[in-house]
Amino acid sequence: MGNSQLDERILILAPVGRDGPAMAGLLAEHGFTVTLCESSGDLRARIGEGAGALLLTEEALELAQLPELLGRLQKQPSWSELPLIVLTHGGESRLARLLDTIASAAGGITLLERPLGTATLVRAVEVAIRSRRRQYRVRDLIQESASQIATLRENERTIRMQEERLRRVEKLAAAGQLAASLAHEINNPLAAVTNALYILQNFSALPAETTNLVNTAAAELARVSRIVKQSLSYYRVDRVPKEIDLAEILEESLHIFEEKFRKAGLEVSTRIRPQMVILGFGDEIRQAIDNLLLNAIEATPKGGRLAVSLHWSRDRRDRRQPGVARLTIADTGSGIPREQLSRLFEPFFTTKAEKGNGLGLWVVRGIVAKHDGSIRIRSSVRDGHRGTAVSILWPAPQKGSPSHEGHGQVSYSI
């Protein structure tokens, strides 16, 4: 039986005599789909499969399972009022009270007095089915509006998300511009003060105690200069790669981060091979390293450890390939759950709510791709093994031979 037939079929329950089969035959002859039910339980089960109307004799209402049938009818969804036709004995029904109860449960009830003409029965069933069809139309409309509401909600959510992203991009662009112009403005007075201190440092008439103070001021000022220089370089886009010393850049970054490490209570160990010269863009590499260091600091609780290493390495799978400079920043921080690994490099993916923009690794990937390098991430969230190690493989300078590592290729392992 197809769905539409189930939706419009007449369920008949007539436990006494030949009423059931007789009515079923008659209605089938008039084109109705009919199911003759054996018991009240059978009727209940079939209502669940789909029904257009119920046709019951008064005797059926006297069955012991009537309360369950009533319960089933009361459970109908809001759009449904399954039409109920009850054949009664003429005059005042013995079951008047029962009929009232069932009418309140079913909603639409039609009483037909026996003896009953064929035309009356057929007509009553037709009316019941027409009423049922109207209910189905209401059901369809409800479903349609529910799905429209869901689509609207989804659209609204997407728009809100896009607005949020846009807000972040704007904030970031504004912050970038502000940082660049601030750094620029600070640069000039900084140069003047640096010069003045230099003159003071070389002023022989100065008492020793004062010279010490001047030396401290000069050293601190040199640090400020480095930071300003770096902030400026973030927004400068180099076009031609130069020979740069990765080790030097890494040491510089670590130096600038010293205060941050101390504040975060982290122990930092380094194994950096000196003179690691590659062809690249120094300012951008510095930015990539800083982003990785920041992530490691942000993920690692007080008392944690960071291990930073830089050395030449060969591809283990193909030793004939040229070497790469392997820079690794490992931490004993939170680790990254497996399901997040593949999303790390998406722009705006962050687990730091308002504190993160989710752009750090995205920028790193861009920079590494520009250098024809690749990124490897190993991470674990298992207790006792928690932590993350991010390695960047920078191709060694090879005249005329493209790197084997691919453009910003990323691989993960846990």
Ligand X SMILES: Nc1ncnc2c1ncn2[C@@H]1O[C@H](COP(=O)(O)OP(=O)(O)OP(=O)(O)O)[C@@H](O)[C@H]1O
Please give the residue ranges that form the binding site for Mg ion (CB under 5 A): 295, 360
Q: Is residue 323 classed as helix, strand or coil in its secondary structure? A: coil
Cβ proximity to ligand X, 93 vs 409, nearer residue:
409
234 is an interface residue for ligand X by CB under 6 A: no
Q: Are 377 and 411 in contact (CB under 8 A)?
A: yes
57 is an interface residue for ligand X by CB under 6 A: no
Cβ-proximal residue to ligand X, closest one: 360
Q: Are 361 and 291 in contact (CB under 8 A)?
A: yes
Cβ proximity to ligand X, 264 vs 336, nearer residue:
336
Binding residue for ligand X, selected from 42, 362, 370, 409, defined by CB under 6 A: 362
Binding residue for ligand X, selected from 40, 57, 388, 403, defined by CB under 6 A: 388
CA gap 12, 34 in Å, rounded: 7
Could you tell which of ligand X, Mg ion, none binds residue 359, using a CB distance below 5 to 8 A set by kind?
ligand X
Cβ proximity to ligand X, 249 vs 292, nearer residue:
292
Please give the angle made by the CA atoms of 257, 260 and 264, to the nearest 5 degrees.
Answer: 140
Question: What is the torsion angle, in degrees rounded to the nearest 10, for the CA atoms of residue 103, residue 105, residue 107 and residue 109?
Answer: -30
352 is an interface residue for ligand X by CB under 6 A: yes
40 is an interface residue for ligand X by CB under 6 A: no
Binding residue for ligand X, selected from 60, 344, 367, 410, defined by CB under 6 A: 344
Token duo for residue 106: 């079913």
Could you tell which of Mg ion, ligand X, none binds residue 395, using a CB distance below 5 to 8 A set by kind?
none
Token duo for residue 408: 């910003």
List all residues 6 or more positions away from 213 whose beta carbon is below 8 Å from its beta carbon.
none
**Contact region with ligand X (CB under 6 A), list: 50-58, 59-67, 234-242, 355-363:** 355-363
Q: Is the bond leading into 189 cis (omega within 30 degrees of zero)?
A: no
Token duo for residue 147: 């799905």
Binding residue for ligand X, selected from 52, 304, 358, 395, defined by CB under 6 A: 358
Q: Which amino acid is at 334?
A: S
List all residues 6 or more positions away from 32 whose beta carbon is below 8 Å from its beta carbon.
8, 9, 10, 125, 129
**Contact region with ligand X (CB under 6 A), list: 46-54, 112-120, 151-159, 348-356:** 348-356
Cβ proximity to ligand X, 231 vs 351, nearer residue:
351
Could you tell which of Mg ion, ligand X, none binds residue 412, using a CB distance below 5 to 8 A set by kind?
none
349 is an interface residue for ligand X by CB under 6 A: yes
296 is an interface residue for ligand X by CB under 6 A: yes
Place of tokens 């690691």: 276
CB of 246 to ligand X, least distance (A): 20
Could you tell which of ligand X, Mg ion, none binds residue 358, using a CB distance below 5 to 8 A set by kind?
ligand X
The Cβ-side half-sphere exposure at 22, using a 13 Å CA radius, reads 12
